[in-house]
Amino acid sequence: MNYCLMHKDDVACHLDMDMHTGNVMDMKIENPELIPIYVDSKRAMADWWSMRAIPMSIKRDSDRQFMRANDISTKEQFALKNLGLSLSDCYWICPEKSETRFKDVNFYENPFDKIDLTSRASLTLAKGLTPLATTTGQMRKFWHIKNGKRILTKVSEKRLEGQLQCINEVFGHELHARQQKYEAVPYSLEFNADNSVRSVSCPAFTSVDVEYVPMINMIEEKHVYFTRGTKLKNAIIDNCVKSGMKKSSVIDFFEYLAAMDFIMSNKDRHLNNFGLLRDSNTLEYIGFAPIFDSGNSMLYDNPYVAGSAEFKLLKTEIAGIYDTDKKLYSSFKKCRSLISYSNLPAPDFVCDFYRNSLSVSDDGICRNISLGYEIKLEILKREHPEIFADLQD
């Protein structure tokens, strides 16, 4: 074994890592309480490590140039070179017999290399450790430090779709903040000189004392993930309860988030995009992580689908516990009083919100985004008025 998987300064397990590929070859558990939840075999560890690494592709010029400049062959090797450090939790990889301490290298207390793969200035040799190696997700993003805070910036790359993804993050926070039910991550937009959306930024919601555990980690039997639907939902809820969470509060959160994602037409509430917060010192669960990552919503990839028949909206495929909006919608039959209808923004507000944020000449895009939102509200009012706390008979 040539590395240790550490949780802060404690050894969770010993790992044999391939230096050329960055892959996990073997593992020996030393402290079962400290390993990531349900990561109790070599295969599970290899999967966990691979999911931890940034998705990079030699098909993208910027990725290929960066990988060549830094002698990187795989995303796992990139993560290994950066000790697996993250701004999500307190796990990291340490060479055996090294005297390096967590306080010396963690990104919460130390400066780090800012690498933005959309910037030509970043496509050179990395100067030090960087959280980019463990920053996952579809959109291009990078971490940086501003006024002592760790800030994540997602870059739109100027396409309409990318601009809408950025704006949706801000709108998602607006929607949840009005409900005053669960905390949501605040986002702010940055603009180019031509008023197009350049990026959207948010502060880290983790720290050296609080870490994030995504819901995908709450699946004990990984094959259940591929079942999708109620069986998967119940398995995650049961494992959250086993971890010390109150069952009624877990169900309430799941149902609230599902209903709000339905209203927003969110296509990307996969199991890495919501989760729990854990005290990194006691390993006790604190509660739900602030709601984040609503970018792939509000018809971002096809605003004009709202002008089609209602059933086309419900047929939309989504990445989440359910695989279509219709199946997600069908799961609401037992939900009660999840949302305050009067605290939801009116469709006219939604249209103005996007009109004021989006730099396009086609006003029809904003009207169709608003129309899609309005249709979803009307579906719930008609079929499931019990969801709204203030629409009861």
Please write the tens of the pLDDT for every residue from 74-99.
999 999 999 999 999 999 999 999 99
Do 218 and 299 fall within a single domain?
Answer: yes
Q: Are residues 181 and 251 in the same domain?
A: yes
- Rounded to two decimals, the pTM is 0.93
pLDDT of residue 274: 97
How far, in Å, are 10, 68, 196, 197 from residue 62 at the CA level?
37, 10, 22, 21
Show Cβ contacts of residue 336 under 8 Å, excluding neighbours closer than 6 positions: 386, 387
Q: Are residues 107 and 196 in the same domain?
A: no
189 inside domain:
yes
308 pLDDT band, cuts 50/70/90, is: low
Q: Is residue 178 part of a domain?
A: yes
Residue range of the domain that includes 73: 1-111
Tokens of 365: 């895009």
* Inside any domain, residue 233: yes
221 lies in some domain: yes
Check residues 31 and 337 and name the one with the higher pLDDT.
Answer: 31
The answer to whether residues 373 and 276 belong to one domain is: yes
Write down the pLDDT at residue 88: 97
Q: How many CA atoms lie within 13 A of 90 on its CB side?
A: 25
State the average pLDDT over residues 145-161.
91
Q: Which helix (H) or strand (E) holds 161?
A: helix 160-179
Does the residue 161 lie in any domain? yes
Nearest to 257 by CA among 294, 214, 212: 294
* Res 125 pLDDT > 70: no
Strands (E), 280-339: 285-288
Give 119's contacts (C-beta < 8 A, 6+ positions apart). Answer: none
Q: What does the block give as tokens for 151?
A: 């800030």
Instruction: Give residue 48's pLDDT band: very low, low, confident or very high (50, 70, 90).
Output: very high
Are the C-beta atoms of residues 174 and 294 closer than 8 Å to each other?
no
pLDDT over 70 percentage in the chain: 93
CA dihedral 374, 375, 381, 384 (to 10 degrees): -130
Q: Give the span between the Cα atoms of 9 and 280, in whole angstroms.
A: 11
**Does 238 share its domain with 367?**
yes
Our count of domains for the chain comes to 2
**Residues 197 and 144 occupy one common structural domain:** yes
Contact assessment for residue 344 and residue 180, using Cβ atoms and an 8 Å cutoff = no
Residues 241-257: what's their mean pLDDT?
93
> How many Cα atoms are found within 13 Å in the side-chain-facing hemisphere of 99?
0
Nearest to 314 by CA among 303, 305, 304, 326: 326
Give the pLDDT score at 359.
77
Q: Are residues 154 and 107 in the same domain?
A: no
Beta strands, E only, the chain: 3-7, 10-17, 24-29, 91-95, 140-146, 149-155, 188-191, 197-203, 210-214, 275-279, 285-288
Q: Taking residues 190-214, what's their average pLDDT? A: 95
Is residue 311's pLDDT more than 60?
yes
Residue 340 in any domain: the answer is yes
Whether residue 343 is predicted with pLDDT greater than 90 in this model: the reply is: yes
Q: How many residues does the chain have?
A: 393
Residues 281 and 351 in one domain: yes
